[in-house]
Amino acid sequence: MSFGTIFATIVFVAILMFSSYLLATSTIFTMNTLSQSFKKANDMQNGKLKTEIEIVNVSVSNAQNITVVINNTGKTKILNDDFKYIDVFVYYDIVGAEEGYTFKWIPYTEAYPPENNSWTVVSISPDSVNPRNFDPDEQMKIWIRVLPRIENGTTGWIGVVMPNGISASSYFYA
């Protein structure tokens, strides 16, 4: 055997070992990334399964103030920092408009009282364990201010969607 054949064999074996190392490393990295993704997806799904809310009361005053009482009947707490991710939707008849129904997304505000077309938390009760967080078995009262005003004697609809997508809705009478 000549030196060229031995050298070519050594280079071939080195390239084969390096390729095997790269393949194994990339496979391990891919498996690790996928397992972390599956864990996050599972945690999100688990959070959805444990989240339940119900709207127990909706009242309208002055044709533009809607008070909604929501019960947290699930096992997931909604943090105060996540209130801005709660979506509130309102569908109602506009004062003085012929066939003038409107559908609105109402954003959260920390201002009290809320500005027009926004909502804020009035109270959470009982709020003794994690103040200002919406814990399981607690009741949250929110105040929604809408403009244009709601026509008296009409029926409207309200929907509340938690940050993880769980929702509750209710009709109200103005």
Q: Which CATH number fits domain 53-173: 3.30.70, 2.60.40, 2.60.120, 3.40.50?
A: 2.60.40
- For the chain, domain boundaries: 1-50, 53-173
Q: pTM surpassing 0.85?
A: no
pLDDT of residue 1: 59
Q: Give the model confidence (pLDDT) of 55-76 as tens digits.
A: 999 999 998 999 999 999 988 8
HEC letters along the chain: CCHHHHHHHHHHHHHHHHHHHHHHHHHHHHHHHHHHHHHHHHHHHHHHHHCCEEEEEEEEECCCEEEEEEEECCCCCECHHHHHHCEEEEEEEECCCCCCEEEEEECECCCCCCCCCEEEEEEEECCCCCCCCECCCCEEEEEEECCCCECCCCEEEEEEECCCCCEEEEEEEC
More confident residue, 90 or 4: 90
